[in-house]
Amino acid sequence: MKNKMLMVFTLLMVNYSFAQISKQATMHAFVNQLLAKMTLEEKLGQLNLPASSDFVTGAVSSSDIAQKVKDGKVGGVFNIRSVTKIKELQEYAVKNTRLHIPLLFGMDVIHGYKTIFPIPLGMSATWDMSLIERSARIAASEASADGIMWTFSPMVDLTRDPRWGRTSEGNGEDAFLSSAIAKAMVHGYQGDDLSLKNTIMSCVKHYALYGAAEGGRDYNTTDMSRIRMYNEYFPPYKAAVDAGVKSVMVSFNEIDGVPASGNKWLVDDVLRKQWKFNGFVVSDYTGIPEMVNHGIGDFKTVNEKALLAGVDMDMVGEGFLNMFKKSLKEGKITQAQIDKACERILISKYELGLFDDPYRYCDEKRSATEVFTPKNRMDAREIAAQSFVLLKNNNNLLPLAKGKKIALVGPLANAKENMTGTWSVGADNSKSISLLQGLTEVVGSYGKVSYAAGSNLEDDAELQKRETMFGKEMARDNRTAEQLLQEAVTVSADADVIVAALGEGAESSGESASRSNLDLPAVQQKLLKALLATGKPVVLVLFNGRPLTLTWEDANVPAILDVWFGGSEAGYAIADVLMGKVNPSGKLSMSFPQNVGQIPLYYNHKNTGRPLGKWFSKFQSNYLDVSNEPLYSFGYGLSYSKFEYSHFAVSDTLLKGNKKLTATVEVKNTSNTAGKEVVQMYIRDVVGSVTRPVEELKGFQKIDLASGETKKVIFEITPELLKFYNTDLKYDWESGDFQIMVGPNSREVQKLKINWTK
Ligand code: BGC
């Protein structure tokens, strides 16, 4: 019986593989026939990706798109926010061009399309891959209903520098967590079948190392050893490639002195040859012409460099379109190179099903019924609540008891336009839920919510403008700072508890939004101090797109809830957590420094030859004025429940060969509140041929625990988890001692030692 089933299964698999091979063969035959018919101009047109002037995300915008489409000079367009317009343009392309090749329509669908989820840094704090995948699935289904079939997401640039504004768009400081997220996102967008009407093509970005910009200043130089690239910064991009991502965007920064947009080693050797990526590579916004400023050639030369490196599509630069006839004549590039780039783009169009039906993503009925639906918004509310991180909760100030009088104070309390955070291109911010609205509705008749703005976002109007652009403008209150503050104090006088909604504006982080100072804006700090001086309990609800320096706040405010930018339903989600309808379970994916001088600060650092024992120690690796510890460590986050870790054990302490080790720990919820806990497992490779980090995340599980419940959590460890790149960039593990650690965060871990030899 068993044999028969095996035979049937094998036959099915063989049939499936044959079907796949023949599908591939049909596709290649189609694309090759099409290529054979195309003129050089038509091929170059396919490599051109102009931006719509609907929503400009770069320094320049493209002009005359319609005419260019008609002339066959366009392969795709991005950031058009209307299904009707997309349909029109698609029709225009298909009807007016000689070979009727449909256009690709892309968009920065980064954390939701119209239903907006938390910013990616917040999403990563859920540590819940199924939720993350679900958010990408919903984003894909909404975007595809509105004509979009390609998203420039996920962004997986690892960063250890919160000054960098684009920290908000990524998954924090850890390669293992970010790799898991990359995989979940790619699968969420692309599903199992890209040709379905509700799946879209994903584009992992920004390849590579963009998050290591010096000084945290956007677009700045990066420079690091290959061993660090391979071990620490590359894995999330590779994880996306392994998950089948169909496109890759190269980054603005240089690597080893060559900008990514023209870096042959990066694109051709690593991405294509080593990682076997076979989709297409797109530049970032004017990333190719910007190589002129980098200083590696004139306009024509840098375009040639990009193509030779393996970049297939030129975003906004128009150099591929306008220069390559000449370059070809001069023998600087070859026809085969142009053909290859064009072929890759046509293949993606084929896989999206565009040659079967160019309008498959333009269904106005779907657009009217499947976007920003009550169901999607409920999901966004649920997901947002899971992303919040409870940083402090003295004397269980949170959740707030029913029936209390709440003074809701702060410039972010009634700021619905700012709830979605940066990169929410498709959102209608006027439909987002502010905290004032959410809290008032959730509290309902069980309590009372009064409100005062308390201050502007920033004292400096110009700075406030920069931090609240792109539809997130915040009207300024023209009363004096003192008048605003006094009003807040008066409103608070009558309350039982003060909820202070403070922090950054939606565009204080994001692209070109680096900061050199990570404190709360001074005017808000002053407000916070005045609120604390009332003697009432204060809950700080912190809006932020990056780790901030909260040393003073941590020492003085009894409860702090980090809510990032939680998306279109943030107001409800925050209220759910404040009022205890949802128990917070987020954990940080990035360390919060005590001050900016500690940056870069990350948990998986090396030990050095003079590691710190106790601060302060002379002639050890430390600072005179601040300890090496973060304020809040990677993996940290509290809950309304209390969890106890016990019976940590490993299945073996002496292993040889390709075995499986299990590490187990019991986690008990000792409180009266049901909750979720992210149980984390770290490994330290004690001795290596190259130095190894003091700990590295190698496993995590998010578990539900009812009040009083205990669960045994099991981690399986194989030599695969012990592998790293050595000096020869060979990926392998080495015999020796290892520390296995488990705990609720990277700092509070229990340790066991094992020895594992080959
Ligand atoms: C950003 C990318 C984005 C692109 C298109 C660029 O400025 O760096 O992340 O996908 O614009 O909007």
Q: Residue 669 is inside which H or E element, if any?
A: strand 661-669
CA 463 to chain centre: 25
pLDDT in tens, 146-173: 999 999 999 999 999 999 999 999 999 9
Q: What pLDDT sits at residue 234?
A: 98
Distance 609 CA to ligand 1 centre (A): 41
Distance 78 CA to ligand 1 centre (A): 10
The pLDDT confidence band at residue 54, using thresholds 50, 70 and 90, is low
Report residue 3 as tokens: 């044999």
Angle (CA) 638 432 218, round 5°: 70
User: Is residue 144 a contact partner of residue 107, using CB atoms and an 8 Å limit?
Assistant: no
Kindly state if the Cβ of 152 falls inside 6 Å of ligand 1. Answer: yes
Q: Reduced to 3 states, what is the DSSP secondary structure of residue 169? A: helix
First to last CA, the chain: 39
Please state whether the peptide bond connecting residue 605 to the residue before it is cis, i.e. omega within 30 degrees of 0.
Answer: no
pLDDT in tens, 581-631: 999 999 999 999 999 999 999 999 999 999 998 999 999 999 999 999 999
Angle (CA) 558 564 565, round 5°: 135
How many CB atoms neighbour CB 3 within 10 A? 7
Q: In whole angstroms, give the CA distance from residue 247 to residue 662.
A: 37
Ligand 1 pocket check: which of 53, 210, 511 to mutate, most ligand atoms within 8 Å of Cβ? 511
Residue 512: pLDDT above 90? yes
Give the residue carrying structure tokens 């064009």.
Answer: 342
Q: In whole angstroms, give the CA distance from residue 472 to residue 513.
A: 14
Residue 60: pLDDT above 60? no
Nearest to 360 by CA among 67, 102, 725, 741: 102
The pLDDT confidence band at residue 10, using thresholds 50, 70 and 90, is low
Report residue 198 as tokens: 């509700």
Residue 9: pLDDT above 80? no
Q: Which atom of ligand 1 is nearest to the CA of 252?
A: 8
Residue 57: pLDDT above 60? no
Kindly state if the Cβ of 284 falls inside 6 Å of ligand 1. Answer: yes
Ligand 1 pocket check: which of 152, 205, 207, 282 to mutate, most ligand atoms within 8 Å of Cβ? 152
Q: What pLDDT sits at residue 478?
A: 94
Residue 6: pLDDT above 90? no
Which amino acid residue places its CA nearest to atom 8 of ligand 1?
Answer: 284
Q: In whole angstroms, give the CA distance from residue 543 to residue 548.
A: 10
In sequence order, which residues have a C-beta less than 8 Å from that of residue 445 and are 6 or more positions away? none
Kindly state if the Cβ of 166 falls inside 6 Å of ligand 1. Answer: no
The pair phi, psi for residue 336, each rounded to 5°, is -60, -35
The pLDDT confidence band at residue 100, using thresholds 50, 70 and 90, is very high
Transcribe 617-666 into DSSP letters.
-TTSS--SSS-SS-SB-TT--B-SS-EEEEEEEES-SEEESS--EEEEEE
Q: What pLDDT sits at residue 596?
A: 98
Kindly state if the Cβ of 61 falls inside 6 Å of ligand 1. Answer: no
Q: In whole angstroms, give the CA distance from residue 750 to residue 393.
A: 24
Query: Residue 29 is which amino acid?
Result: A
Which amino acid residue places its CA nearest to atom 12 of ligand 1?
Answer: 57
Ligand 1 pocket check: which of 284, 313, 425, 470 to mutate, most ligand atoms within 8 Å of Cβ? 284
Q: What is the mean pLDDT of residues 21-36?
A: 95
Residue 12: pLDDT above 90? no
- CATH code that applies to domain 643-757: 2.60.40.10
Residue 566: pLDDT above 80? yes
Which amino acid residue places its CA nearest to atom 4 of ligand 1?
Answer: 285
Mean predicted lDDT score pLDDT of the chain: 96
Please state whether the peptide bond connecting residue 616 to the residue before it is cis, i.e. omega within 30 degrees of 0.
Answer: yes
Distance 107 CA to ligand 1 centre (A): 9
Q: In whole angstroms, give the CA distance from residue 539 to residue 530.
A: 13
Q: What pLDDT sits at residue 19?
A: 79
The pLDDT confidence band at residue 55, using thresholds 50, 70 and 90, is low
Nearest to 739 by CA among 700, 694, 699: 694
User: Is residue 732 a contact partner of residue 758, using CB atoms and an 8 Å limit?
Assistant: no
Candidates 174, 218, 284, 576; catalytic one? 284
**What is the pTM for the complete model shown?**
0.96
pLDDT in tens, 268-283: 999 999 999 999 999 9
Kindly state if the Cβ of 205 falls inside 6 Å of ligand 1. Answer: yes
Distance 423 CA to ligand 1 centre (A): 9
**What is the residue extent of each domain of the chain?**
1-37, 371-588, 643-757
The pLDDT confidence band at residue 558, using thresholds 50, 70 and 90, is very high
Q: In whole angstroms, give the CA distance from residue 468 to residue 505.
A: 6
Distance 284 CA to ligand 1 centre (A): 6
The pLDDT confidence band at residue 18, using thresholds 50, 70 and 90, is confident
Kindly state if the Cβ of 734 falls inside 6 Å of ligand 1. Answer: no
Residue 130: pLDDT above 80? yes
Report residue 6 as tokens: 């095996």
Which amino acid residue places its CA nearest to atom 10 of ligand 1?
Answer: 152
Task: Report the b/e string of 451-487 with b at 16+ CB within 10 A.
Answer: bbbbbbbbeeeeebbebbebbbbbeebeeebeebbeb
Residue 426: pLDDT above 70? yes
Residue 304: pLDDT above 60? yes
Superfamily of domain 371-588: Glycoside hydrolase family 3 C-terminal domain (3.40.50.1700)
Which amino acid residue places its CA nearest to atom 2 of ligand 1?
Answer: 284
Kindly state if the Cβ of 161 falls inside 6 Å of ligand 1. Answer: no
Q: In whole angstroms, give the CA distance from residue 170 to residue 164.
A: 11
Ligand 1 pocket check: which of 285, 313, 470 to mutate, most ligand atoms within 8 Å of Cβ? 285
Q: What pLDDT sits at residue 684?
A: 98
User: Is residue 439 a contact partner of residue 539, using CB atoms and an 8 Å limit?
Assistant: no
Distance 725 CA to ligand 1 centre (A): 31
Q: In whole angstroms, give the CA distance from residue 19 to residue 5.
A: 21
How many CB atoms neighbour CB 744 within 10 A? 21
Distance 285 CA to ligand 1 centre (A): 6
Return the C-alpha torsion angle 116, 121, 123, 127, nearest 10.
180
Distance 374 CA to ligand 1 centre (A): 30
Q: What is the mean pLDDT of residues 736-740?
A: 98
How many CB atoms neighbour CB 120 within 10 A? 33
Structure letter (DSSP) for residue 250? E
Distance 739 CA to ligand 1 centre (A): 41
Is 732 annotated as catalytic?
A: no
Q: In whole angstroms, give the CA distance from residue 720 to residue 748.
A: 25
Residue 63: pLDDT above 90? no
Q: In whole angstroms, give the CA distance from residue 154 to residue 206.
A: 9
Residue 7: pLDDT above 90? no
In sequence order, which residues have a C-beta less than 8 Å from that of residue 29 and are 6 or more positions away? none
The overall longest dimension of the chain from CA atoms, in Å, is 83
126: number of CA atoms within 13 Å, CB side? 25
Q: What pLDDT sits at residue 565?
A: 98
Q: What pLDDT sits at residue 64?
A: 81
Kindly state if the Cβ of 285 falls inside 6 Å of ligand 1. Answer: yes
Kindly state if the Cβ of 297 falls inside 6 Å of ligand 1. Answer: no
Report residue 554 as tokens: 């941590």
User: Is residue 683 a contact partner of residue 741, using CB atoms and an 8 Å limit?
Assistant: yes
